[in-house]
Amino acid sequence: MSLIESTQRYFHAHVRARIAVLLSAPVAWLGVLYIGSLAALFITSIWKIDTFTSKVVREFTLSNFIDVLTDKAYFNVTVRTVGVAIAVTIICAIIAIPMAFFIARVAKPQSRPVLIALVITPLWASYLVKIYAWRTMMAPDSGFLNWLISPLGLSSPGFGMVAVIIGLSYLWLPYMVLPIYAGMEKLPDSIIDASADLGAKPGRTFLKVILPLTWPAIIAGSLFTFSLSLGDYITVQILGGTFQMLGNVVYQNFALNLPFAAAVALIPVIVMIIYLASVRKTGALDNL
Amino acid sequence: MKISLSRKSAIAIAAGALLLSGCSSSGDDSTSGAYAGPVGDTPGTINVLAWPGYAEDGSTDPAVDWVTPFETETGCTVNVKTYGTSDEAVQLMQSGGYDVVSASGDASLRLIFGEDLQPVNLDLIPNYVDVFDNLKDRPWNTIEGVNYGVPHGRGANVLQYTISKVKPAPDSWSVVWEPNSPLKGKITAYDSAIYIADAAVYLMSTKPELGITDPYALDSTQFEAAMELLKQQKPLVAEYWGDYTKYVAAVQAGSIVAGTSWQVIANVLNGEKATVGAVKPKEGATGWSDTWMISKNTESIDCAYKWLNWIVSPATNAQAAEYFGEAPANSKACALTASKTHCESYHADETEYWSDVYYWKTPTEACLDGRTDVKCIPYAEWVKAWSSFRNS
Amino acid sequence: MNLSRTAKVVLWGFMGFGLSFIYVPLMLVVINSFNKNKSFNWPPTGFTTMWWSKAASNPGVKDAIILSVLTATLATIIALILGSLAAAAIARYNFFGRDVISLMFVLPIALPGIVTGIALNNVFTNFFGGLTFFTIIIGHATFCVVVVFNNVAARYRRMGSSFEEASMDLGADRFTTFRLVTFPMIRNALVAGALLSFGLSFDEIIVTTFTAGAGQTTLPIWIFQNLFRPNQAPIVNVVAAALIMVSIVPIYLSQRLTQERK
């Protein structure tokens, strides 16, 4: 019996060995490198820095956490950041659900790949260029938006929180449309027909049958929009004026106060872990 | 905002004071640690970390380039990276990968004491002898007689304003600080903790009772006053700037009409036609004096020394000083500037002009103005306060 | 499903609004790539094609595109290998710790990019000696693994294990089964995952800012450096417009590939 055959037999008999072989490389990569570097980062949050050279000094201190928790500014910026992330998620959902439904159920089957391609194509346009396009659009006096709505007596909101919410909703919309479309496409026709047969009008079918069934997919989409908004700092720098979010706090302090930046970085991580844990039950994680 | 002084930071104050008063730091003395030379012809690559406008390689404006001639003459390859604030410079130098940096006074000492730099052997830099005497051996680049670099030039942070939108031409910082400023909502301010010193400079004129003599030596009362002024300014500000190209774009789009700036930004804006003016207001201004320094771990030491010699040579220094809009470091550069009055207009050899220009330096707990009866706020606390302020 | 006229109108309306919302800024980018005025005030005062010719001859752009393509390709290859291995294990077997490992494969995308960026930067500067070309690839591969994993795991689940079992019952060994049965069935998912991974890596800016070495300029970094520069910003628009047009084809193809046969 050749070496290959005996190896095959071994693996056939030992399930655990098969799993181990399959998983060893990926888990080593993600477990050691990724989780390890996250751990290394969060450990620095209990250290301090030399006040003159800004280098990390490995002495235990809780001052970073105390500063984050007691300074009202950081509480405010956390609330604002979570608020923006929620607003972006809701706006994306409001636009994405009808679009996904249209593509999955109303459009002709041949046109579906084309429509989805149209929705996904912007993902390939550079993130920076898209945000810069919004910057020129929202410029207070000379922008496109101003030019468009000034006949109505309105003017562009300029750079600030509103511009950031619009910009982020724009960026993450495809990430919301895709999973919802996938979820709606999977719905068997029979269930929808059954609902109609039982006398429900389309609106009721939508609210009572389709929406609950695609809820995991909607949550899956929201994971993207929420997490991507929570940590964003570039859009905020370009569209935000003097408005700041958590990502900016981390970015500003990373250079000279890594322990403090690490402590602040824990906030979005904790928020996301809570969010992930609470949506695990909905099965959303299988819909990514 | 509480500033706590634990025993540990008291020790840090003492250590900092010792270091600053010039006690020898690591047992090395004089030029040990510096390259002995001679500077050879080994080709290599140097990554240069520079303020915008200091190491132009043609990518901003194809006609403005003193990097490519250097590469052609020496065979060294140069990659330039520009940064927006001294904090960025310190962080990038500490993360490694850069061979040469042009550091302002508020970054240089942090880098020296952070052991990110090597001393520079000035005998290997022939052009150094022509540097203005009042720029040689300055406390921000020379420790106990050990030199860490060659000066580049110096300038003030100017008040820039869009000529068509700000009439009459301002001569005071009040247009950016006072709540009733007619330019509300279109002001900009520098996005770095060091800007707190600019608030202190304004307070030196408007609130002399605070007793501020050095905007980088602020005790807690003076610091609180500066932070209050900044909070008062915030509603006037459209954007805080840290990227000069974004600043240029915003002025062109009209969303910013006045604020603290560098002469190079005004020069870029006035490139095609005069759109902005730049002045040093009557209250004085913060400023900077920069030094080219060499990283401790550079692999192309010959190219690094050649760059230092090149950048401080009369011809290049003249080009750079004129493009940026600052006083050059090399006295022979004055004869080579395209405008014959350049050195005069930038007060290169004067002392009076610079008497109310407060060069960037790193605040320490030991008061930089010499007071021993109070403790001053160190830069790490400036950064914390600034971060809290920006996010409130 | 039978929809009333109002419902159909509303849906068409949303679709129309959604598509215009998506494409108006992109069209603005394309128009601005022909804009004579460098500061992009609206409406444009004149049109020119000079930016397109300048972009074609700009060495910075070319180097950046090459570096980005190289990085994305290598990261995608690593992601394909690691992602499909992990997907096979997670989707096929039930074992102690499966949920935890499953969660681990969601984290790189679920956690904000800046956290991943500074964590990797911290490790690279303190333990790996600095940032280089390879540190970029490591950073990218880490989140690209996630998209490949998701696509392939989903495919495994939909596929069921019956085909593989049948193949082995008929006498094929594991390698042959994989080659002739499993691989053709997951091939589409691999391609879709690879395309998504390539796209993510090509456009990534946040993690890249923290993991790229001193001279490493990927396309997004080049764009970031030149976005506001008066002489370069129009070239950035050209690059973006070109990217949009070039990307339509692979996206359409990948959509066709992942269409289920009903």
List pLDDT tens digits, range C71-86: 999 999 999 999 998 9
Whether the pLDDT of residue C38 is over 90: the answer is no
Which residues of chain C have a CB within 8 Å of the CB of B268?
230
Instruction: Report CB contact under 8 Å: B255, A141.
Output: yes
Interface of B with A in 50-89 (CB under 8 A): 87-88
- Positive or negative, the Cα torsion across B290, B292, B297, B298? positive
Contact (CB, 8 A) for A150 and B262 = no
pLDDT band at B32 (very low <50, low <70, confident <90, very high): low
What would the pLDDT profile of C133-147 be if each residue is shown by its tens digit? 889 999 999 989 998
Q: Residues 181 to 210 of C: which have CB under 8 A from any A CB?
A: 199, 202-203, 205-206
Cα–Cα dist B227/A147, whole Å:
38
CB contact under 8 A, B96 and C231: no
Whether chain C has a CB inside 8 Å of the CB on A250: the answer is yes
| Token pair for C193 | 């995952």
Contact B95 C232 (CB under 8 A): no
Q: What 3 state SS string does chain B have?
A: CCCCCCHHHHHHHHHHHHHHCCCCCCCCCCCCCCCCCCCCCCCCEEEEEECCCCCCECCCCCCCECCHHHHHHHCCEEEEEECCCHHHHHHHHHHCCCCEEEECHHHHHHHHHCCCEECCCHHHCHHHHHECHHHCCCCCCEECCEECEEEEEEEECEEEEECCCCCCCCCCCHHHHCCCCCCCCCEEEECCHHHHHHHHHHHHHHCHHHCCCCCCCCCHHHHHHHHHHHHHHHHHEEEEECCHHHHHHHHHHCCCCEEEECHHHHHHHCCCCCCEEEECCCCCEEEEEEEEEEECCCCCHHHHHHHHHHHCCHHHHHHHHHHHCCEECEHHHHHCCCCCCHHHHCCCCCCCHHHHEEECCCCCCCCCCCCCCCCCCCHHHHHHHHHHHHHC
Give the separation between CA C38 and CA C55, rounded to whole angstroms. Answer: 14
Q: B79 CB near a chain C CB, below 8 Å? A: yes
Separation CA B390–CA A232 (nearest Å): 16
B155: Cα separation from own chain's centroid: 8
Nearest Cα of chain B lies from the Cα of A258 at a distance, in angstroms, of 10
- DSSP 8-state assignment for residue A198: T
The strand pair at B285-295 and B149-156 is best described as antiparallel
Residues of chain A contacting residue B240, judged by C-beta atoms under 8 Å apart: 242
What is residue B28's predicted lDDT score, i.e. its pLDDT?
A: 36
Per-residue model confidence (pLDDT) at position A284: 65
Helical ranges in chain C per DSSP H: 5-32, 50-56, 59-92, 98-104, 107-110, 113-127, 133-159, 162-169, 174-177, 183-203, 206-211, 219-226, 233-258
Q: Which residues in chain B are closer than 8 Å to C125, comparing Cβ atoms?
A: 95-96
- Binding-site residues on chain A for chain B (CB distance < 8 A): 49-55, 67, 71-74, 76-77, 136, 139-143, 158-159, 238, 241-242, 244, 248-249, 252-257, 260
Q: In what order do the strands lie in the sheet with B276-279?
A: B237-241, B187-190, B258-261, B158-162, B276-279
Residue B230: predicted pLDDT: 96
Interface test with chain A among C96, C122, C198, by most A beta carbons within 10 Å:
C122
Q: Which two tokens stand for residue A186?
A: 């999977």
Highest average pLDDT, of A266-270, C51-55, C228-232, comes from: A266-270
Within 8 A of C120 by CB-CB distance, chain A residues are 37
**Average pLDDT score over chain B:** 86
Tens digit of each residue's pLDDT (9 = 90 or more) over C10-31: 888 989 999 999 988 888 888 8
Residues A128 and C223: beta-carbon distance below 8 Å? yes
What radius of gyration, in Å, describes the C-alpha atoms of chain C?
23
Mean pLDDT of C244-253: 74
Reported confidence tier of residue B14, pLDDT bands at 50, 70, 90: very low
CA torsion, points B298, B21, B121, B95, in degrees to nearest 10? 10
Percent of chain B with pLDDT over 70: 92
Which long-range contacts does B167-173 make (Cβ < 8 Å, 24+ apart)?
Answer: B169/B277, B169/B279, B170/B258, B170/B279, B170/B281, B171/B279, B171/B281, B171/B282, B172/B281, B172/B282, B172/B283, B173/B198, B173/B201, B173/B202, B173/B281, B173/B283, B173/B285
Closest to B67 (Cα-Cα) out of B77, B131, B102 = B77
Helix (H/G/I), strand (E/B), else coil: C35: strand
Between C55 and A229, name the one with better pLDDT: A229
Residue at B61: amino acid letter: D
- Would you state the pLDDT for residue A51? 77
C194: its two tokens: 């690879």
Q: What is the pLDDT of residue C39?
A: 62
pLDDT digits (tens, 9 = 90+) for C141-170: 998 999 899 888 888 887 777 888 888 888
CB contact at 8 A, C12 and A102: yes
The confidence band for B3, taking pLDDT boundaries of 50, 70 and 90, is very low
Over residues B178-228, the pLDDT tens digits come to: 999 999 999 999 999 999 999 999 999 999 999 999 999 999 999 999 999
C209 touches chain B (CB under 8 A): no
Q: What is the mean pLDDT of residues C237-258?
A: 76
Given the DSSP bridges, would you call strands B276-279 and B158-162 parallel, antiparallel or unpaired?
antiparallel
Q: Touching A: which chains, 3+ CB pairs < 8 A?
A: B, C
Which of C39, C213, C231 comes nearest B97 by C-beta?
C213
Hey, are the CB atoms on C114 and A269 less than 8 Å from each other?
A: no
The chains found to touch C (3+ Cβ pairs under 8 angstroms) are A, B
Note the pLDDT of residue B13.
Answer: 42
Q: The dihedral of CA A261, B239, B264, C38: what is its sign?
A: positive
- Note the pLDDT of residue A288: 63
pLDDT band (50, 70, 90) for residue B8: very low
Q: Do C130 and B97 touch (CB under 8 A)?
A: yes
Q: Which of A22, A106, A126 sits opposite C88 (nearest CB)?
A: A22
CB contacts, 8 Å: A49 with chain B: 380
Quote the mean pLDDT of chain A: 86
Residue C41: which pLDDT band, with cuts at 50, 70 and 90? low
Q: Which CA distances in Å does A104 have to A89, A90, B329?
A: 21, 21, 69
Share of chain C above pLDDT 70, in %: 93
Q: Which residues of chain B make contact with C214, given a CB cutoff of 8 A?
A: 47, 79, 81, 97-98
Q: How far is A284 from chain B (nearest CA, A)?
A: 34
Query: Which residues lie closer than 8 Å to C149 by C-beta, 6 or more apart?
Result: A26, C82, C83, C84, C86, C87, C90, C105, C193
> Mind telling me how many Å the CA of C23 is from chain A's nearest CA?
8
Shortest alpha-carbon distance between residue B94 and chain A (Å): 9
Q: Which residue of A has its CA nearest to B381?
A: A51
Q: Give the CA radius of gyration of chain B.
A: 21
User: How many Å apart are CA B87 and CA B80, to the nearest integer?
Assistant: 18
Predicted pLDDT of residue C230: 67
Residue C41 near chain B (CB below 8 Å): yes
Separation between Cα atoms, residue A119 and residue A174, nearest integer Å: 6
The mean-pLDDT minimum among A7-21, A179-193, C106-120 falls in: A7-21
How many inter-chain contacts (A to B, CB under 8 Å) are there?
Answer: 93
Rounded distance, CA C62 to CA A143, Å? 31
